[in-house]
């Protein structure tokens, strides 16, 4: 399903972008293309074997777009490697509403806070991290959106790669604690098995986007947990 959805759409859009002479293609890539490299992930790192099919489709899509740019000098490509987007617009009008049981951590936390889920399952506490739980670089969706505007405004090379992350790692339990503190709600949780395909630690070296795009994250983990909860609690 991942291969069909992500690769067919990338190929079709690349063909259409060429046919209609689209000058600039901004691709939503993912930090998962770094595979099991050591954090902080830097854009110059050689990509290592990805740990899941989703990541593989992102690495393949980057390659397809890079080849398309090599074949067509009129096409500029910017590959944005997202770290972990969370949060919502502060108005509470736009946010994350996954179908069914959430796969991702933040919507699982907010649904647990709301009583829609009984408790959070923490996937492993025996990783080589500060508290044993997985470490990720969470980025507020509003900062991420601003990164796209900066990427559209600046074309440094014909093919550009940028990490969109904060450069800071937060563990699962640290995110839960930040949520509890900011929103004054307890999140019941249980430690369970590791989830297949997960790595211990993922965070960005965020210096290239700052230097070349003049972009860096402004919002904190506390803004993320506050805005995520504000969206969830106002849902009918
Ligand atoms: N995670 C967890 N319980 C959940 C969902 C996620 O413990 O219900 C952990 C996961 O193992 C990882 C982190 O939270 O360490 C972020 O996972 P998520 O799926 O949100 O993003 P990913 O990094 O996998 O893209």
CB 19 within 8 A of CB 74: no
Q: In what order do the strands lie in the sheet with 159-164?
A: 24-30, 76-82, 159-164
Give every CB contact of residue 155 below 8 A, 6+ residues apart in sequence: 24, 76, 78
Whose tokens are 């900011």? That residue is 182
Query: Alpha carbon 74 to chain centroid distance?
Result: 29
| Nearest CA residue ID for atom 3, ligand 1 | 122
**Would you give the DSSP letter of residue 2?**
H
Distance CA 61, CA 75 (A): 15
- Which tokens sit at 130? 């500060």
| Nearest CA residue ID for atom 11, ligand 1 | 123
Give the pLDDT confidence score for residue 66 in this predicted structure.
97
**Would you give the DSSP letter of residue 139?**
E
- Which tokens sit at 183? 């929103």
171 CA to centre of ligand 1 in angstroms: 10
104 CA to centre of ligand 1 in angstroms: 5
The answer, yes or no, to whether any atom of ligand 1 lies below 6 A from the CB of 196, is no
Distance CA 77, CA 195 (A): 33
Give the pLDDT confidence score for residue 30 in this predicted structure.
97
- Which tokens sit at 46? 């050689």
Ligand 1 atom closest to 31 (CA): 25
CATH class of 1-234: alpha beta
Give the pLDDT confidence score for residue 52 in this predicted structure.
87
Give the pLDDT confidence score for residue 236 in this predicted structure.
81
Mutate to test the pocket of ligand 1, among 54, 57, 104 (most ligand atoms within 8 A of CB): 104
Is residue 54 part of the annotated active site? The answer reads: yes
Please give the model's pTM, rounded to 2 decimal places.
0.95
| Nearest CA residue ID for atom 12, ligand 1 | 134
Distance CA 184, CA 178 (A): 10
Cα end-to-end distance, the chain, whole Å: 31
Give the pLDDT means over successive 10-residue stretches in the chain (236 positions). 97 96 96 94 91 92 97 96 98 94 97 97 98 98 98 94 98 98 98 94 98 98 98 93
Catalytically annotated residue among 54, 108, 138, 162: 54
Give the pLDDT confidence score for residue 19 in this predicted structure.
94
Residue 31 vs residues 48, 70, 137, 236: alpha-carbon distances, Å: 12, 23, 9, 33
Mutate to test the pocket of ligand 1, among 105, 116, 171 (most ligand atoms within 8 A of CB): 105
Domain ranges (residues) in the chain: 1-234
């Amino acid at each position: 399903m991942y291969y069909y959805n992500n690769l067919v759409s990338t190929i079709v859009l690349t063909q259409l972008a060429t046919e209609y002479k689209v000058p600039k293609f901004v691709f939503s890539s993912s930090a998962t293309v770094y595979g099991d490299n050591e954090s902080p992930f830097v854009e110059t790192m050689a990509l290592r074997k990805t740990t899941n099919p989703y990541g593989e489709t992102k690495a393949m899509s980057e390659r397809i777009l890079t080849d398309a740019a090599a074949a067509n000098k009129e096409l500029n490509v910017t590959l944005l490697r997202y770290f972990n987007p969370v949060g919502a617009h502060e108005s509470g009008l736009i946010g994350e509403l996954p179908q069914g049981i959430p796969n991702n951590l933040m919507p699982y936390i907010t649904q647990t806070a709301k009583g829609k889920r009984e408790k959070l399952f923490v996937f492993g506490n025996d990783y080589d991290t500060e508290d044993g739980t997985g470490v990720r670089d969470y980025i507020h969706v509003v900062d991420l959106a601003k990164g796209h505007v900066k990427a559209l405004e600046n074309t440094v090379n014909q093919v550009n790669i940028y990490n969109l992350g904060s450069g800071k790692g937060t563990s699962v339990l640290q995110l839960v604690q930040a949520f509890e503190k900011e929103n004054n709600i307890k999140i019941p949780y249980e430690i369970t098995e590791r989830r297949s395909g997960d790595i211990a630690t993922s965070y960005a070296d965020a210096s290239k986007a700052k230097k070349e795009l003049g972009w860096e994250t402004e919002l904190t983990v506390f803004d993320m947990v506050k805005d995520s909860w504000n969206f969830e609690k106002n849902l009918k």
